[in-house]
Amino acid sequence: MRIPLIAGNWKMNKTVTDAIELVNEIKDVANNTDVEVVVCTPFISLVGVSEILKDSNVKLGAQNMHWEESGAYTGEISPTMLKDIGVDYVIIGHSERRQYFNETDETVNKKIKSAFIHGLNPIVCVGETLEQRESGIQREIVKNQILKGIDGVEEKYLKNIVIAYEPIWAIGTGKTASSEDANEMIGYIRNIIKEKYGEEISEEIRIQYGGSVKPNNVTEIMNQVEIDGALVGGASLKADDFRKLVDF
């Protein structure tokens, strides 16, 4: 049985003061539920939020990391630093990082390997652009991103990977993939894993959908058999909305 995972990706939103306020409002959302809940805050808020989440079932995630443990990488944050303050999850290869910050399948691959070695669970984002979908090559694109991203990752770690299928045209646009399309793509992703690593691993891996998930569409999305959770941007920034998402 795969445990559903609802993860909030706050992106570059909320000051530390705002982050503390929001997390105080939502820290109880994972009580009395079988759903796993994660909030991925900006780096600067992780320490403060971590303190608040100490007695909560809500887990803490970062939105990115460097693959090295330490060194001369000005402006970067390492997996060791994240682990030290109680971070459990880290988003890797979000399309905004691929688009604006030169994230490539190669850097994604290094980060995934490093995350596992340091005891962090990666939430790895994949997804096609609108142009790619319109040309009918979305499967090829996503397959490539996945196989390059996880190339050489030790199989013992793989069951803990979370994949987030986020069609780029659906992120922050209010357009969602139809729940059937999302289910179909996620089933396809599971099949890629099955072909390469076998059925056991493919059945254990959680694959989320992301892209304009809101309180009014979360139930339909979560009712799809292949979809194990949601990675949510905009709707994770308001306590009431986030609560509704967890209660899908």
Q: Which residues bind ligand PGA (CB under 6 A)?
A: 9, 166, 171-172, 210-213, 231-235
Q: In this chain, which residue has its C-beta nearest to ligand PGA?
A: 233
Residue 25 annotated among the catalytic residues of the structure:
no
Supply the minimum distance, in Å, between the C-beta of residue 235 and ligand PGA. Answer: 6
Residues 75 and 110 sit within 8 Å (Cβ to Cβ) = no
Residues 119 and 162 sit within 8 Å (Cβ to Cβ) = no
Whichever of 149 and 233 has its CB closer to ligand PGA, that residue is 233
Whichever of 152 and 174 has its CB closer to ligand PGA, that residue is 174
Considering 36, 94, 118, 128, which one is annotated as catalytic?
A: 94
Considering 36, 96, 128, 166, which one is annotated as catalytic?
A: 166
Supply the minimum distance, in Å, between the C-beta of residue 172 and ligand PGA. Answer: 4
Supply the minimum distance, in Å, between the C-beta of residue 197 and ligand PGA. Answer: 25
Residue 94 annotated among the catalytic residues of the structure:
yes
- The residues that bridge with 7 in the sheet, in sequence order, are 38, 231
| Residues contacting residue 195 through CB under 8 Å, at least 6 positions apart | none
Whichever of 172 and 198 has its CB closer to ligand PGA, that residue is 172
Q: How large is the C-alpha radius of gyration of the chain?
A: 17
Supply the minimum distance, in Å, between the C-beta of residue 230 and ligand PGA. Answer: 8
Structure tokens that stand for 51 in this block: 């303190």
Whichever of 19 and 231 has its CB closer to ligand PGA, that residue is 231
Which alpha helices (H) appear in the chain, and where do they start and end?
A: 16-26, 43-52, 79-84, 95-100, 105-117, 130-134, 138-149, 155-158, 179-197, 199-204, 218-222, 239-246
Which residues are known to be catalytic?
A: 94, 166
